[in-house]
Amino acid sequence: MANKITPRKEDYSKWYNEIVVQADLAENSAVRGCMVIKPYGYAIWEKMQNELDKMFKETGHENAYFPLFVPKSLFEAEEKNAEGFAKECAVVTHYRLKNDGNNKGKLIVDPNAKLEEELIVRPTSEAVIWNTYKSWIQSYRDLPILINQWANVVRWEMRTRLFLRTAEFLWQEGHTAHTTKQEALDEAKLMNKIYANFVENFMSIPVIQGTKSLSERFAGAEETFCIEALMQDGKALQAGTSHFLGQNFAKAFDVKFASKNGGLEYVWATSWGVSTRLIGALIMTHSDDNGLVLPPNLAPYQVVIVPIYRGEEQMKEVLKVAEKIKSELINNNIRVKLDNRDNFKPGFKFNEYELKGVPLRIAIGPKDIENRNVEVARRDDFSKNIVSQNELPKYIKNQLIDIQKTLFDRAKKFQKDNITTVDSFEDFKDVLNKKGGFILAHWDGTEVTENAIKNETKATIRCIPLENKKETGACVYSGKPSKGRVFFAKAY
């Protein structure tokens, strides 16, 4: 029995939501716009966390933790940052509730418990962190500071979708301080490369690296580097950003250091982050109409073993061999689940793990034990092969490597097939409406033109590619001179 999921071509948004819920990744909570990440979904996030954390620490970064609440006066200190996030802020004004006096258990805000200063629930942590750095930094000897924190943030979104856009979400945010502009710029570029490396090699999602236009930059940044991915519906998704903040936050919070020549200078800063929206990217890049498809590197378990038997005698015999296979695979550093539940039939289990995107499934029954082999099925292409039990660990390892590569190659081909170069605005609109994907077009570099295109088509400049060819031409919209092409797309 096939899994009942709305086909992508019929309703892409519904398809996505059904996969999130039916694959047991997350669900909506009692709090509007917030989600409950279920164990299977959180296990995927943990895989992401573990790999990224290792990459951060290998490049000299350390983890710390800063408060959830930001005093309003600190939040306002860097004006562009405050203005950029103001509309998304949740604000704490009181610290106590009291009984309403009717003895019915209802609580009201105690008007006598008003905070002396309102607190912002962090939408991002630059303000509270830079206020902290002021006491940490006195001399060039204290620099660089390379800090990351794993945290939750709140951005009061009105239109939400599980993983992609929620009022509260999980992420990591790096915040670094440096003695020179070049060192900070190098840091911002390095972190963007780390994100690209992680998303491409660990998640099997190809990305385009670039910088944001002025209007799309992080509030308070002088330059925003980004990685952009393309989803199966032809829309782009910003998968990660790394910001060169210049000296803006250092000046806002008066963070100076004594330089080697004895003078006082403002420090240079970066911030960078990725969030649980990467799980949304994972779903929309690889999954199909049968459910979730997971790259082996990210799968909570890479192999599931489904025993097939009739009666207790066969069950004992099959489970004994299945346990042995499980142990052999674990000894080969393969993540395995043996589903020995006796209240579900094999067919039900096959559908369940297909829906959950487990890369490989091993089926073993009495005949397999007799022949000393098993059936191995791949989730990505539904192929099946009979494999000798003696060859199984090596075969499984090779298959996992191949699945990881196959998923990337498939997504890379989709990306390549959906990058279209245009030279006229009519072609721009035609491609956007009929095909979607990334559109490479000349842009005159002005915010006026960028906004005009956005208002007319809902397409935005996703990035100015780092590998931008020096190619003079005419802007696709205004006809004015252009120094190179940029990537446009509709986006999440």
pLDDT digits (tens, 9 = 90+) for 101-133: 776 778 999 999 999 999 999 999 999 999 999
CA 362 remoteness from chain centre: 30
pLDDT band at 2 (very low <50, low <70, confident <90, very high): low
Residue 348 CB contacts under 8 Å (≥ 6 apart), including other chains:
none
- pLDDT tens for 222-235 read 999 999 999 999 99
SS3 call for 340: coil
Mean pLDDT (the chain) is: 96
Q: Among 2-11, 302-311, 353-362, which is the least confidently predicted range?
A: 2-11
Q: Taking 60 as the threshold, does the pLDDT of residue 87 lie above it? A: yes
- Does the global pTM surpass 0.85? yes
| Start-to-end Cα distance in the chain | 33
What residue ranges define each of the domains in the chain, with the CATH number in brackets? Answer: 38-286 (3.30.930.10), 303-402 (3.40.50.800), 419-489 (3.30.110.30)
164 and 17 Cβ atoms separated by less than 8 Å: no
Q: Per the structure block, which two tokens stand in for 436? A: 């979607």
Q: How many residues does the chain have?
A: 492
CA dihedral 282, 284, 288, 291 (to 10 degrees): 60
Q: Taking 90 as the threshold, does the pLDDT of residue 214 lie above it? A: yes
Distance CA 488, CA 465 (A): 11
451 and 215 Cβ atoms separated by less than 8 Å: yes
Exposed/middle/buried for 397, CB within 10 Å: 0-12, 13-18, 19+?
Answer: middle
Q: Taking 90 as the threshold, does the pLDDT of residue 467 lie above it? A: no
